[in-house]
Amino acid sequence: MPISHVFLRAGKPEAYRTAILDGLGRALSDALGVSEDNRFMTLSEHEPANFRHGNAYGVTRSDDVVYIRITVFDTRSAQQKQALFRRLAELLAESPGLRGEDLFVNIVDSPKENWSVGHGLAQFA
């Protein structure tokens, strides 16, 4: 049950933004087995003055850098997370044509009891 947020510099067309969300959904399905009806995603665009990046860790990023934060149950293995990183890079390279250097992903593990998916209940506690 992931919830994902995509951050990017403002100005990309709707088709570009849609391709990112579609690729993210497919990567979550392919790598983590997330079902098609489990698409909890948001995307935020930021003006250049409010969006910064660097070239740390030996990666030369461009102004097209995309940050993706994915919060998941703390039950995912390191291998599953690595598979997600690889699949996401593959899919976003295909469409919308995002360079691997411009994909920055962070997975946040969260215990199941920290989730409420509706009605004010802790469905997984």
Task: Tell me the two tokens of residue 105.
Answer: 């992903």
Q: What's the confidence (pLDDT) of residue 66? A: 98
Kindly state the average pLDDT of the residues 22-33. Answer: 98
**What secondary structure letter does DSSP report for 118?**
S
Q: What's the confidence (pLDDT) of residue 26? A: 98
The answer, yes or no, to whether residue 1 has pLDDT greater than 90, is: no
Q: How far is CA 94 from the centre of its chain?
A: 16
Q: What's the confidence (pLDDT) of residue 111? A: 94
Kindly state the average pLDDT of the residues 21-46. Answer: 97
Domains and CATH numbers, the chain: 3-114 (3.30.429.10)
Render pLDDT for 43-66 as a digit per residue (tens, 0 to 9): 999 999 999 999 999 999 999 999
CA atoms within 13 A on the CB side of 42: 6
Strand-strand pairing, 66-73 and 103-110: parallel
Q: How many helices (H) and strands (E) does the chain have?
A: 2, 4
What is the value of pTM for the model shown?
0.95
Render pLDDT for 80-121 as a digit per residue (tens, 0 to 9): 999 999 999 999 999 999 999 999 999 999 999 999 999 999
